[in-house]
Chain A
Amino acid sequence: DSGVTQTPKHLITATGQRVTLRCSPRSGDLSVYWYQQSLDQGLQFLIQYYNGEERAKGNILERFSAQQFPDLHSELNLSSLELGDSALYFCASSPRRGGATTEAFFGQGTRLTVV
C-alpha cells in the first residue's frame, strides 16, 4: 500500500458527461501529480500541484482541469468526455517539489470507461 488513496476505483459514464476523480496524498506529501495510462499513449503526465498551487502542466487537454485543496487532497475534473478519454488515471504524491530525491508514490488508479 503506497499510502495514496484514489476514489472511485471504477467509473463508467456516457460521452459528453463530466466526472471528478479524487486523490488523497500520503500524509505530509505536498506535491500531487496526475497521470493518464492508456494502451496507445502509455503513461502520460498531466499536471502537478505543489502545496495548493499549479506547478507544471504536461499533456493535459483543455477539457480537463485539476485543483489541490488546503488539506492537500486533489481532484481531477474531466468534462465533455469522449470515448478516447477511457483510461486509467493515476494520482501520485511526493514529499517535496525537488531536491535530491523525488520518489513519487502512485495510487491504485481510477479506471474510467466512457460509453
Chain B
Amino acid sequence: QQQVKQSPQSLIVQKGGISIINCAYENTAFDYFPWYQQFPGKGPALLIAIRPDVSEKKEGRFTISFNKSAKQFSLHIMDSQPGDSATYFCAASMLKGGADGLTFGKGTHLIIQP
C-alpha cells in the first residue's frame, strides 16, 4: 500500500520557469510533511517542511502548499535554475509518539533546461 503518491515521475522545465510537484497522502495521522532533494551519489537533504496547521510555507524560491481537506501538498520552485536539477521526494511522518520514520513518495526527476 503506497501511502504517499507523488507525481509526475519526471519533469522538464525551462530555466526561469516554475516547477510544480504534487503529492497526496492517505494516512490522516501524518502531521509532518517534508520535501527532500537528492543529487546523484548523495543522500537526500531536507529542502523545506510544513505542518498541517498552515496552508503555505515559503523559503526563498521554494514554496509548499498544503490542502488538509484534500490530503494533498505540493512543492513549487520559482525561477527554476539548472542547479535545481535533481530528484525530489515528498514525505510524511507522525511526530507524535516519537516513532517518526519517513514515508516517501516515489520521487520526481526534475531537469531544468538552460
Complex partner residue of B105 from A42, A45, A56, CB under 8 angstroms:
A42
**What 1/0 flags go to A78-97 for Cβ under 8 Å of B?**
00000000000010101001
Interchain CA distance A32-B99 in the complex, whole Å: 11
Q: Distance (Å) between the CB of B9 and the closest chain A CB?
A: 11
Q: Distance (Å) between the CB of A68 and the closest chain B CB?
A: 14
A8 interface hit (Cβ, 8 Å)? no
Interchain CA distance A63-B105 in the complex, whole Å: 25
Complex partner residue of A103 from B41, B43, B46, CB under 8 angstroms:
B46
Contacts of B41 in A (CB 8 A): 108
Contacts known (A2-B43, A99-B95, A107-B43); A48 close to B101, Cβ less than 8 A: yes
Contacts of B42 in A (CB 8 A): 108
Interchain CA distance A100-B51 in the complex, whole Å: 9
A43 interface hit (Cβ, 8 Å)? yes
Contacts of A43 in B (CB 8 A): 44, 89, 102, 104, 107
B106 interface hit (Cβ, 8 Å)? yes
Contacts known (A90-B43, A98-B96); A103 close to B101, Cβ less than 8 A: no
A16 interface hit (Cβ, 8 Å)? no
Contacts known (A45-B103, A55-B99, A56-B101); A102 close to B43, Cβ less than 8 A: no
A44 interface hit (Cβ, 8 Å)? yes
Contacts of B79 in A (CB 8 A): none
Which of A98, A99, A105, A107 lies at the interface centre, i.e. has the most chain B CB atoms within 10 A of its CB?
A98
Complex partner residue of B95 from A50, A92, A98, A105, CB under 8 angstroms:
A98
CB pair A48 B43 closer than 8 Å: no
Contacts of B60 in A (CB 8 A): none
Contacts known (A97-B100, A98-B100); A109 close to B106, Cβ less than 8 A: no
| Listed A/B pairs (12) with beta-carbon separation below 8 Å | A33-B101, A33-B102, A48-B100, A55-B98, A56-B99, A94-B100, A98-B97, A98-B98, A99-B95, A102-B100, A104-B46, A106-B45
